[in-house]
Amino acid sequence: MTRWVLALSATLWGSLAAAGEATVAVAANFLTTAETLAEAFEAETGHQIVITHGSTGQLYAQIVQGAPFDIFLSADEERPARLKEEGRATEVRTYALGRLVLVSRAPVDAATVGEAVAGRTVALADPTVAPYGKAATTAMEKLRLDTATFRPVLVANVGQVATVFVTGNADFAFVSASQLPAMAAPSTMDLADFVAPIRQDAALLDRAQGNDAARAFWDWLASDAAAGTIRDAGYGAPGA
C-alpha cells in the first residue's frame, strides 16, 4: 500500500512540477474565443493561461513599454509584424480572419443605410488603436456615409462598441461578427462587399523564450481543435 501511495504522490508531483503559466494579451474582439481556447488548452495540458485584453493599439503600446506578455493575439497584421521587426517577437502567424458587420434597430442595406443613419448615433471603435474601427471607417467610405450627418460614438475597442449598442446608447454599431450571438441585435448588415476580411495575426513574444507553457499554447493554437473553435466563433481560420 505504501509503495502505491508513494508512486501516486510522485506522479502527481511530477504533473504539478511540469505545469506552467503563460500570459496572453488578447484583442478585445477575440476575448470570448480566447477564453474558450484557454479553457480547453488548460484541461488538456495542465498549463495555466492568464489573459489580459484591450484594443490592439493599447496592447501593442504596453508590450513596447515592457508589459510581461508571452503571446499577443492581435486584431491586425501590422503590429505583430512590427514587433518582429523590432526584435520583440520571435514568430508571427495568422490565427483568424475577422468579419465586420453593422448592427441596427431596423433592417438596412447599402441603398438605405445613408438615409437611415441620418441624425442617429453610430458606435465604432477608435480607428487609431482598434483594427475593427479602422475597418469601419473603410466601410463608411465605401458606403458614402458622411460623419457630419450622424452622431458618432467613438470608444476604445470593439468590445465596448457592442456594450454601447446593447445598452441602448447607439442606434447603429460596427462590430465583429463573432460578437453577434451575445448581442441579439434586431438587424445585421454584412459588410463583406465593402471591407476585406480582417487578418488577425499572433506574435510569440521574446519574453516567452524558455517558457514551456507559452510554447505549448503557441503550438496548440495551430491545431485542428483550435481552428474548429475559431470557426465556430464566427471567424475564418487560416487555410480553411
Residue 8 lies in a domain: yes
Q: Is 158 annotated as a binding residue?
A: yes
State phi, psi for 238 to the nearest 5 degrees: -55, 135
Residue 88 sits in the same domain as residue 17: yes
Residue 85 sits in the same domain as residue 137: no
Residue 85 sits in the same domain as residue 57: yes
Residue 162 lies in a domain: yes
DSSP 113: H
What global pTM score does this model have? 0.88
Query: How far apart are alpha carbons 175 and 188 in whole angstroms?
Result: 10
What residue numbers bound the domain in which 186 lies?
100-190
State phi, psi for 95 to the nearest 5 degrees: -115, -20
Residue 14 sits in the same domain as residue 91: yes
Of the candidates 125, 64, 99, the residue with the CA atom closest to the CA atom of residue 177: 99
Residue 237 lies in a domain: no
Q: Are 56 and 129 in contact (CB under 8 A)?
A: yes
pLDDT at 56 over 90: yes
Residue whose entry in the numeric block shows the C-alpha cell 503557441: 218
Residue 6 sits in the same domain as residue 73: yes
State phi, psi for 57 to the nearest 5 degrees: -65, -40
Residue 14 sits in the same domain as residue 76: yes
Residue 12 sits in the same domain as residue 131: no
Q: At what angle do helices 31-45 and 212-220 cross, to 10 degrees?
A: 120
Of the candidates 69, 44, 65, the residue with the CA atom closest to the CA atom of residue 203: 69
Residue 18 lies in a domain: yes
Residue 129 sits in the same domain as residue 65: no
Give residue-wise pLDDT tens across range 76-124.
Answer: 999 999 999 999 999 999 999 999 999 999 999 999 999 999 999 999 9
Residue 238 lies in a domain: no
Tally the domains of the chain: 2
Residue 93 sits in the same domain as residue 9: yes
Residue 239 lies in a domain: no
Give residue-wise pLDDT tens across range 130-185.
Answer: 999 999 999 999 999 999 999 999 999 999 999 999 999 999 999 999 999 999 89
Residue 154 lies in a domain: yes
CA angle, corner 178, sides to 75 and 109, nearest 5?
105
Helix, strand and coil in the chain, % to nearest 5: 45, 25, 30
Percent of all residues in the chain with a pLDDT value above 70, rounded to a whole number: 92
pLDDT confidence tier of residue 239, bands split at 50, 70 and 90: low
pLDDT at 18 over 70: no
Q: What is the mean pLDDT of the chain?
A: 92
**Exposure of 200 by Cβ count < 10 A (0-12 exposed, 13-18 middle, 19+ buried)?**
buried
Residue 115 sits in the same domain as residue 68: no
Residue 81 sits in the same domain as residue 118: no
Residue 15 sits in the same domain as residue 92: yes
Give residue-wise pLDDT tens across range 148-162.
Answer: 999 999 999 999 999
Q: Is 108 annotated as a binding residue?
A: no
CATH of the domain at 153: 3.40.190.10
